[in-house]
Amino acid sequence: MEFFRIKKDIPFMRHALAFNVISLLTFVLAVVFLFTKGLHLSVEFTGGTLIEVKYEQSADLEKIRGALGKAGFSDYSVQNFGSSQDVMIRLPLKADAPGGAKQRVEFVGPQVGKELAENGAMALLLVVIGIVIYLAFRFEWRFSLSAIIANLHDVIIILGFFAFFQWEFSLSVLAAVLAVLGYSVNESVVVFDRVRETFKKVRGLSTPEVLDHAITSTISRTIITHGSTQLMVLSMLIFGGETLYYFSLALTIGICFGIYSSVLVASPLVMWLGVSREQFIAKQKKVIEGANEDGAVV
């Protein structure tokens, strides 16, 4: 389905070098922030206390946060869950929560937090490996390598944002990063499928023109898909409260950079790696040469 169709191809590849320089600088900055500032890990990873409190009336979260701040806590999380009367408090140490009836208290020890961090890193690594294997079978190596670099670019950028602003990195944010990986690779596959199709069916176009045509012809689909997804994520970002704030924020960053990387990072990389129409035509000739006059393969 298309809301509109652009008749004249947009010359994206004319500015490919500038896009790649911007991407490289952004990537390097993200890596620098990760190494210098590091991620602000939540209690789930560092260990601490999780307290569930039920109030008789709607809980005043700002008042609770103020009380915790006066008590000397600097690394805490206070949020509603289920209803406005139920409050979940995460603290880096064992502590009490006066003013409400405690429903559940759990202490996450440093060892458990370490295991969660290791398991989260392993989940991220396995997803990346799975994507690499899928792309290796799905596309020719130039496409696969470009898509892999673009996807890793998105993940590092998200982590760089969280490191620079010291936003809390929790299990929900890790889930958002994993979702972005799958989301971004889908966009790359769509664009590269159109590139491959254009190489095979259209003659007389240079490689940059083929890439421009493929990107332009998928813009309507990109706007529909990413626009509808971002509307849902935006509603969580605005109305989801603290519980969903960083989760939806990570998704928002991932969606924006996922579009950018699939169109303006992966495609120029394919061009720099030397993809051409001859590579696809040669494969078709090999298939034809392997058949006899009756069409049977000899």
Q: How confident is the model at residue 19 (pLDDT cuts 50, 70, 90)?
A: confident
Contact (CB, 8 A) for 213 and 9: yes
Q: What are the domain boundaries of the chain?
A: 12-39+112-284, 50-106
Higher pLDDT, 134 or 173: 173
Q: How confident is the model at residue 298 (pLDDT cuts 50, 70, 90)?
A: very low
- The owner of tokens 């898509």 is 147
Q: Is the pLDDT of residue 283 over 70?
A: no
Looking at residue 99, its pLDDT comes to 54
Q: How confident is the model at residue 83 (pLDDT cuts 50, 70, 90)?
A: confident
List C-alpha distances in Å: 286 to 198, 249, 278. 19, 49, 12
* pLDDT > 90 in the chain, percent: 16
Nearest CA to 173 among 115, 105, 229, 253?
Answer: 253
Dist. CA 11–CA 29, nearest whole Å = 28
Half-sphere exposure of 240 (CA within 13 A, CB side): 15
DSSP reduced 3-state for 56: coil
| Lowest-pLDDT range of 145-149, 165-169, 173-177, 240-244 | 240-244
Residue 282 DSSP symbol: H
Nearest CA to 51 among 24, 15, 78?
Answer: 78
Q: What secondary structure does DSSP assign to 58-77, as a single string? A: ---HHHHHHHHHHTT--S-E
Q: At a CB cut-off of 8 Å and minimum separation 6, what does 213 contact?
A: 9, 198, 202, 205
May I ask the CATH class of domain 12-39+112-284? mainly alpha
Q: Is the pLDDT of residue 165 over 70?
A: yes
For the entire predicted model, the pTM comes to 0.75
Q: Is the pLDDT of residue 106 over 70?
A: no
Question: What's the N-to-C CA distance of the chain in angstroms?
Answer: 42
